[in-house]
């Protein structure tokens, strides 16, 4: 909202430093800082309110014995993270951007689902919370909404909102902003053209060799060298992707994309509804898988929120790189026009997680509950899909992946041995994996710190995939 207000007022008033708001990096930095401050300031009164109303955690009896001392610790603290993400995002992000409002919708959805689950656990005294089928259905609903947006909304197909949907003509004054000129500069001509439609652009994708600019009464001619015209044209107009695309980046493979549409071999069109429907199922699977994986990881003080902050920070950098043509072209990743705005929400996400960690670090003063864990997983899963990095999730979110895998292995092996031998056996002392290490005698704080270190190393490996290709 503040971004839109500043943008509107800058047409009439010349505020000092107002030009900073056009830079995503500036708005992302401010959003992260503000989210951290909000989490620190709202955390204490929220924890006090939760204690007053006796909204405390119920501890599983079969868990490690020392966890019994945590009984009654305020839960549903994910509300702190939610508030700290929402306010900076609304203030500094472009709310007309489909990546932004789809992510905000996802955040609201999973937070409401987590609150519902925690409400049943705390107020209905039902330790199981929501029924598994109900939770899965709600998560599937989120996947359907996100998937539907991604296959239908023009922003997700690389079509810039700077293009008028009726006339499909680009406003020449907006070319200057894309070239980095100052507010108040006016475009006089671009090789005798002041407008360019898509048909002309498709015939000659790099049409402009020079731009004549009016600045404070003087004319300036900007000449684009031949080797830079392609970069300038795509930076100005965005990459021309013919409608919806199911392509995504493959880690470690240079200049190669995986196209989900190839799996639907009976369809001869990448934009057919068969392909779109299949892609929606991919979105559902990833959203459900990541959200539940983070939920399983939330078992020790600071574990889930710390590892989520690392993964969210990495995805925020990926979003910024993917939305910047020069960086995306250099690193050979998909250039995704408009996705850079997503880095503002992810910066707020990281700031909110760090702020919450102030109260959630060992010994925790508050637990996030499903309100927080489902939200963290939902944000990570949806953002990975938006920046075409979902195939990198097993590396980037390796902690969540291994934690979920340990539960699957444990349950599967127990059921198999019980059916075959009449008595269930276990591979781990307890699942998820962090409880296994607790029962082996490792201190909770040491487990958390080591998992953070591993998460950080995995994030570095994810970045290295940009060059090891």
DSSP letters along 5-41, please?
A: HHHHHTTT---TTGGGGG-HHHHHHHHHHHHHHHHHH
| Tens-level pLDDT at each residue, the chain (469 residues) | 787 777 777 767 766 767 788 788 899 999 999 999 999 999 999 999 998 887 877 666 666 766 767 787 898 999 999 999 999 999 999 898 889 999 999 999 999 999 999 889 888 877 777 888 899 999 999 999 999 998 888 777 644 333 333 333 344 455 545 444 444 444 444 433 334 433 343 334 444 555 555 555 566 555 555 555 555 555 554 444 444 577 788 877 665 678 887 888 777 666 678 888 999 999 999 999 999 999 999 989 999 999 999 999 999 999 998 887 667 777 777 778 788 899 999 999 999 999 999 999 998 999 999 999 999 999 999 999 999 899 999 999 999 999 999 999 999 999 999 888 888 889 999 989 999 999 898 999 999 999 999 999 999 999 888 777 6
Residue 339: the pLDDT is 86
The helix-helix angle for 98-123 and 369-386 (nearest 10°) equals: 160
Would 265 be classed as within a structural domain?
no
* Helix, strand, coil in percent for the chain, rounding step 5: 60, 5, 30
Whether 289 is in a domain gets the answer: yes
Domain that holds residue 373: 2-159+273-385
**Residues linked to residue 163 through DSSP beta bridges, in sequence order:** 170
* Residue 22 domain flag: yes
Residues 126 and 7 placed together within one structural domain of the fold: yes
User: What tokens does 380 get?
Assistant: 């990570």
Q: Which of 385, 411, 438 is the last residue of a domain?
A: 385
pLDDT at site 70? 77
Q: Are residues 138 and 185 in the same domain?
A: no
Residue range 368-426, pLDDT digits in tens: 999 999 999 999 999 999 998 999 999 999 999 999 999 999 999 999 998 888 888 89
The pLDDT value given to residue 212: 54
Residue for token digits 């899909």?
385
Task: List Cβ neighbours of 251 (8 Å cut-off, separation of 6 or more).
Answer: 391, 392, 395, 462, 465
- What is the structure's pLDDT at 209? 52
Using alpha carbons, list the distances in angstroms from residue 34 to 63, 220, 286, 347. 37, 39, 30, 10
Long-range residue pairs from 321-330, CB within 8 A, at least 24 positions apart, any chain? 321/466, 322/387, 322/388, 323/24, 325/231, 325/234, 325/235, 325/239, 326/231, 326/235, 329/231
Angle between helices 342-360 and 24-52 (to 10 degrees): 30
- Are 39 and 84 found together in one domain? yes
Residue 136 lies in a domain: yes
308: tokens are 């989520």
Given 182, 216, 237, the domain boundary residue is 237
Residue 218 inside a domain? The answer is: yes
**Number of domains into which the chain is organized:** 2
């Amino acid at each position: 909202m503040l971004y839109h207000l500043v943008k509107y007022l800058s047409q009439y008033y010349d505020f000092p430093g107002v030009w900073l708001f056009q830079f995503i990096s500036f708005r992302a930095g401010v959003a992260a800082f503000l989210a951290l401050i909000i989490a620190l300031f709202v955390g204490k009164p929220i924890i006090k309110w939760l204690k007053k109303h006796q909204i405390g955690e119920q501890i599983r009896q079969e868990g490690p014995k020392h966890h019994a001392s945590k009984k009654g610790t305020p839960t549903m603290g994910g509300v702190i993270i939610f508030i700290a993400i929402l306010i900076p995002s609304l203030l500094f992000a472009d709310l007309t951007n489909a990546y932004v409002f789809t992510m905000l919708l996802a955040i609201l959805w999973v937070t409401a689902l987590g609150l519902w689950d925690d409400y049943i656990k705390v107020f209905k005294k039902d330790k199981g919370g929501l029924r598994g089928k109900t939770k899965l259905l709600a998560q599937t609903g989120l996947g359907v909404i996100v998937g539907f947006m991604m296959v239908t909304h023009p922003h997700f197909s690389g079509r810039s909102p700077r293009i008028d949907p009726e006339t499909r003509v680009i406003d020449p004054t907006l070319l200057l902003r894309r070239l980095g000129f100052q507010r108040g500069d006016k475009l006089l001509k671009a090789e005798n053209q002041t407008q360019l439609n898509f048909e002309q652009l498709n015939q000659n994708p790099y049409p402009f060799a020079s731009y004549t600019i009016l600045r404070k009464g003087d004319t300036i001619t900007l000449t684009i060298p031949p080797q830079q015209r392609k970069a300038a044209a795509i930076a100005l107009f965005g990459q021309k992707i013919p409608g919806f695309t199911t392509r995504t980046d493959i880690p470690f493979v240079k200049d190669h994309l995986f196209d989900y549409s190839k799996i639907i071999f009976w369809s001869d069109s990448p934009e057919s509804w068969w392909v779109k429907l299949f892609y929606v199922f991919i979105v559902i699977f990833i959203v459900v898988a990541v959200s539940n994986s983070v939920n399983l990881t939330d078992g020790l003080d600071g574990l889930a929120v710390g590892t989520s902050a690392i993964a969210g920070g990495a995805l925020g950098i990926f979003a910024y790189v993917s939305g910047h043509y020069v960086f995306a072209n250099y690193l050979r990743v998909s250039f995704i026009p408009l996705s850079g705005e997503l880095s503002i929400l992810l910066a707020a996400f990281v700031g909110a997680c760090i702020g919450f960690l102030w109260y959630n670090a060992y010994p925790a003063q508050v637990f996030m509950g499903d309100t927080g864990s489902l939200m963290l997983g939902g944000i990570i899963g949806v953002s990975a899909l938006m920046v075409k990095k979902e195939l990198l999730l097993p590396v980037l979110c390796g902690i969540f992946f291994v934690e979920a895998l340990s539960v699957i292995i444990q349950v599967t092996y127990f059921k198999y041995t019980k059916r075959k031998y009449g008595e269930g056996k276990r591979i781990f002392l307890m699942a998820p994996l962090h409880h296994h290490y607790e029962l082996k005698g490792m201190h909770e704080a040491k487990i958390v710190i080591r998992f953070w270190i591993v998460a950080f190393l995995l994030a570095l490996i994810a970045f290295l995939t940009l060059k090891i290709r």
